[in-house]
Amino acid sequence: MGLSRLILYLTALLLLLAGCQTAYGPMGLHGGYSDKHIEGNIYHVRFDGNFQTPLRMVREFVDRRSEEVCRENGYSGYGIVTTNHESESRQFYGLGPSYHTAYVVEATIKCRQ
């Protein structure tokens, strides 16, 4: 395989990966959720999206993970105690460095019976 063909394949792969929204799942290279038990029935849930993930979807992922955390710990539902929506500018590299907005949403939740 020639060098120019290899460069073409690698460029196509990078563009494909860069064009993807953050999938729902645990924190990874391209974002995801994390959670932490605070005390009793109080938890902190966070979802980091990438620049392709709209704020609406990041909020939905926090809600989804909040529901999962409470059910996994024997509760029937949850209420949000506090929430924080952030946007941050991150540098991404493709054909050149560029800055894009990526959303992060954090919530402190209280699980209920």
Average pLDDT over residues 15-20: 50
Predicted confidence (pLDDT) at residue 41 exceeds the cutoff of 90: yes
CA-to-CA distance for 30 and 92, rounded, in angstroms? Answer: 11
Q: Which long-range contacts (CB under 8 A, 24 or more apart) does 44-48 make?
A: 44/106, 44/107, 44/108, 44/109, 45/69, 45/106, 45/107, 45/108, 45/109, 46/104, 46/105, 46/106, 46/107, 47/22, 47/104, 47/105, 48/22, 48/102, 48/104
> How many CB atoms are located within 10 Å of the residue 90 CB?
13
Residue that has been written with the tokens 């990874």 in this structure? 28
Confidence of residue 60 (pLDDT cuts 50, 70, 90): very high
Q: Is this prediction's pTM over 0.75?
A: no
Confidence of residue 40 (pLDDT cuts 50, 70, 90): very high
- Each domain of the chain, given as residue ranges in start order, spans 3-112
Predicted confidence (pLDDT) at residue 16 exceeds the cutoff of 70: no
